[in-house]
């Protein structure tokens, strides 16, 4: 990552993806094949756009996926499936950008340890 703003955008996007996944998982358990309404889909697409921006081409889960089609509303389970893929990739991206430095986990900015605290790695070696 290049700046503190990149870290802030990453953390905001992670939170949004987790919230969407949680909410849509609940809806999917009740009625997995029901279509998502246009309002929710608009919000979901904004979160996906933010995730695509954060992840770049190296980490995007689907290189040709930009957003859900608002004319062909996806089902609740379709959204859960796609958001789960985004959660996996954004965590891989986050993990690749944190390091244990002076006995604490911090984000890397331009390859160097920052003072911004991070959660521990969930993948790879510490």
Nearest to 86 by CA among 117, 45, 29, 33: 45
> How is residue 118 annotated by DSSP?
-
Quote the pLDDT of residue 72.
95
Going from the C-alpha of 8 to that of each of 11, 37, 94, 125, the distances in angstroms are 5, 29, 12, 24
Share of the chain above pLDDT 90, in %: 95
Quote the pLDDT of residue 5.
98
How does the average pLDDT of the chain come out, rounded?
A: 96
Q: Does the pLDDT at position 123 exceed 90?
A: no
Strand ranges in the chain using DSSP code E only, listed in sequence order: 98-101, 104-109, 112-117
Going from the C-alpha of 19 to that of each of 13, 15, 24, the distances in angstroms are 10, 6, 8
Q: Which residue has the tokens 């949004």?
A: 16
> How is residue 62 annotated by DSSP?
S
Quote the pLDDT of residue 40.
97
Q: 85-115: per-residue pLDDT in tens?
A: 999 999 999 999 999 999 999 999 999 999 9
Quote the pLDDT of residue 125.
60
User: Distance between CA 86 and CA 66 in Å, rounded?
Assistant: 12
List the structure tokens of 33: 């094949």
Q: Which residues of 27-57 are buried (b: 16+ CB within 10 A; e: fewer)?
A: bbeeeeeeebeeebbeebeebbebbbebbee
Quote the pLDDT of residue 102.
95
Q: 44-90: per-residue pLDDT in tens?
A: 999 999 999 999 999 999 999 999 999 999 999 999 999 999 999 99
């Amino acid at each position: 990552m290049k700046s503190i703003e990149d870290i802030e955008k990453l953390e905001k996007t992670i939170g949004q993806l987790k919230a969407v996944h949680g909410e849509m998982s609940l809806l999917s358990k009740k009625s997995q094949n029901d279509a998502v309404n246009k309002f929710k889909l608009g919000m979901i697409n904004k979160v996906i756009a933010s995730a695509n921006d954060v992840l770049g081409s190296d980490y995007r889960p689907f290189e040709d996926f930009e957003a859900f089609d608002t004319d062909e509303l996806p089902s609740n389970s379709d959204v859960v499936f796609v958001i789960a893929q985004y959660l996996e990739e954004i965590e891989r991206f986050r993990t690749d950008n944190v390091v244990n430095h002076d006995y604490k986990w911090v984000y890397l900015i331009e390859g160097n340890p920052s003072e911004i605290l991070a959660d521990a790695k969930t993948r790879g070696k510490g």
